[in-house]
Amino acid sequence: MTARSSDLGWVSPNWYAAVMGTGIVATAAVSLPVDGLRPFATAVWLLAAALLAVLATVSVRQWRRQHTDPVMVNFYGAPAMALLTVATGALVLGELVTVAWVLWTAGTAGGLATALAVPYLRFTRHTGGTPSGGWLIPVVPPMVSAATGALLVPHAPAGQARLTLLLGCYAMFGISLIAAVVIITQIWHELSVGTVGPNRTVPTLWIVLGPLGQSVTAANLLGTAAGDVLPAPYAGAFAAFGVVYGVPVWGFAMLWAGLATAVTVRAARDHLPFSPAWWSFTFPVGTCVTGTSALAAQTGSAMFRLLAVLLYAVLVTAWLVVAARTLVSLHGAHIVTRCTSSRFARAIHPSRSCTSSCSARESRCTPTTWPSSGDISAAAPARSSISAADPAISPITFGRWEPTPRGSTSFPSSSPMRGQPTRAAAIDSLPWNASTSPITPWPASWPGTR
């Protein structure tokens, strides 16, 4: 399937989780105590790099307005982590040191910016809300920078430059660790006294594994790097810290993985709608693989070696499933976008009709008659006829519904109806703007759905 860049206007920062999930499959393979995986890892890393290039090309133009969205703003940390994940692969698989430096520098700068800016926005503008795994995304990038930076320490000039890089990575380790502990505590409290939340948010529980597994990885990689930079007794102390810190945190990560698995199975028995949040099943699990491999390398434990291989098998399985579902949904979104553009256009311009390639899907999700006037209330599908499980509808849940601003004379560039004129009477009733995060397939406020 091919798609024009204009058809990808709804791509938003949360899609960089696909790069993270793909890249971690490659870098985690290299960390395993298993030979023969390097060709596979290299191929997957190249795929992640290509995906990063595509997303960077088509999505940056969408971000300027998304800092006002209290949900989507959390995902500003995803592009930084995508850069850092690809940087790790460039270093350990491609041996492209210069490329790794460039990507690491860009990812670190972006990650530090989100770690500061997003909490500031939450403190001052986006107050309230329910703590969730999404809150961790903007504060985790410095931890990923610390882990990747540890691999770059030997490539830095000896002396103060190398020492500065090492200590800077430890500082970023602390930035992310303390912030993550605070947020994880809030999430635990919310789950204990509140509810798990709707099924569509369940995958975000897996994000908690990200800072846990990545911190174990970073602590051990930095401890190894410290041996050539710091004098005694600090070199040995930091190396020991990787194990002393890593094993207890790894234990808690396994506890959380068990809880997340149980909640996910419970949600799946009911209905777990697909969304980009499913990529939360990949990168966080991948950090647990690298963390377990790091502990195996430091301790020589056969138990950790075996568990690292088993966790990697889980990671690859999750990646294949989520990637397949993503491709299917992207294909469906391409079809539904064309059909949706036509069906809403018919409400605005009665003379328009859906193309033959969309007619079958249109008949499933829209009424057979449309008003000839600007009143779209009668044209709104009944809520009972819409389900996120419907293949003809589920791709639309990739975006959040927003009404077109009153007074607009044309639809925004992010809309599948971009460039088409509007009717004033229908402007506030047309909830189409697939540029941000999923909330509901159809808003309760849309006329005709009450």
Locate 266 and state its tokens: 């419970």
pLDDT at 65: 52
Helices (H), 64-159: 77-92, 97-124, 141-152
CB 388 within 8 A of CB 332: no
pLDDT at residue 213, rounded to an integer: 97
Does residue 271 surpass a pLDDT of 80?
A: yes
For 337, residues 6+ apart whose C-beta sits below 8 A from its C-beta are: 7, 395, 416, 434
What residue ranges define each of the domains in the chain, with the CATH number in brackets?
Answer: 5-307 (1.50.10.150)
Asked if pLDDT for residue 60 goes beyond 60, the answer is yes
* Range 156-172 average pLDDT: 95
**What are the tokens at 265?**
């199975």
118-127, 146-155, 330-339: the lowest-pLDDT one: 330-339
Mean of pLDDT values over 432-449: 34
In the prediction, which pLDDT does 372 show? 36
Buried b (16+ CB within 10 A) or exposed e, 354-391: beeebeebbeebbbeebeeeeebeebbbebeebbbebe
Count the Cβ atoms, other than its own, within 10 Å of residue 105.
Answer: 14
∠ CA 209-211-214, nearest 5°, is 95
What is the rounded CA–CA span in Å between residue 201 and residue 443? 17
3-state class of 410 per DSSP?
Answer: strand
Question: What percent of the chain clears pLDDT 90, i.e. is strictly above it?
Answer: 55
Given a cut of 70, is residue 443 above it in pLDDT? no
Task: Provide the pLDDT confidence category of residue 58 given band limits of 50, 70 and 90.
Answer: confident
Tell me the sheet residues that pair with 196: none
Q: How far apart, in Å, do the first and last CA atoms of the chain sit? A: 37
Mean pLDDT for the chain overall: 77
pLDDT digits (tens, 9 = 90+) for 126-141: 777 788 899 999 999 9
C-beta separation of 107 from 56 below 8 A: no
Cα-Cα-Cα-Cα torsion 100, 316, 311, 267, nearest 10 degrees, comes to 120
Q: In this predicted model, which residue has the larger pLDDT, 417 or 264? A: 264
Residue 52 burial (C-beta neighbours within 10 Å; 0-12, 13-18, 19+)? buried
